[in-house]
Copies of this chain bind each other. A is one copy, B any other.
Amino acid sequence: MGYRHTREELLQGAVDAALEDGLHRLTFGRLATRLGVTDRAIVYYFPSKDDLVTQVLTVLGDRLVGVLADAVSGGARDHRDLVARAWPVLARPQVDPLFALYFEAVGLATAGAEPYRSLAAPLVAGWVDWFATVLVGTPAVRRREAEAALALVDGLLLLRQLAGPAAANRAAKVLVG
């Protein structure tokens, strides 16, 4: 099957490139140069740019879920409890590039750019669902608390990206103490 490059290799390289350079610099040409192939090799596996972006963001989403799985173990009482326990893991410097990419994709989604717009809804729904499974209470309460937790996490992570780790940690202490 694998001749010189497998699909997984190229996808992995694309994710790495996106993490380093940002989605706005993820192009067939740049990626091909980076991986030492021609853009034709990439187009073979990912027939359109939207396909490539979709696959990359899917991998990104999976990795984010992985980070969350590390961050939240079990039965949180409410959004405050959940975020208080998750924050130390979410605030690790290693995952910063992941969230930088997340916010870039989310920004393009709010601007109505495809395919980001179509991908944003399931991605956000995934976060809420995951948070909900960790919380206790009736389904309605768990959903409300999960949405609140998501707003808190996004706000803190965005503050971390824009104002630095120190500001985000101060805000986290104030908000979920």
Q: Interface on A for B, CB 8 Å cutoff?
A: 21-24, 79, 99-101, 103-113, 120-121, 124-125, 128, 144-145, 147-148, 150-156, 158-159, 161-163, 167-168, 170-171, 174-175
Which one of B112, B148, B162, B168 lies within 8 Å of A120 (CB-CB)?
Answer: B162
Residues on B with beta carbons closer than 8 Å to the beta carbon of A105: 107
Query: How many copies of this chain are found per oligomer?
Result: 2
Residues on B with beta carbons closer than 8 Å to the beta carbon of A23: 111
Residues on B with beta carbons closer than 8 Å to the beta carbon of A99: 110
Residues on B with beta carbons closer than 8 Å to the beta carbon of A168: 151
Measured between alpha carbons, how far is A134 from B106 in the docked complex, in Å? 30
Whether A111 contacts B106 in the complex (CB less than 8 A), given A155-B158, A171-B147, A174-B145, comes out as no
Whether A158 contacts B111 in the complex (CB less than 8 A), given A124-B163, A174-B79, A174-B145, comes out as no
Which one of B103, B152, B171 lies within 8 Å of A144 (CB-CB)?
Answer: B171
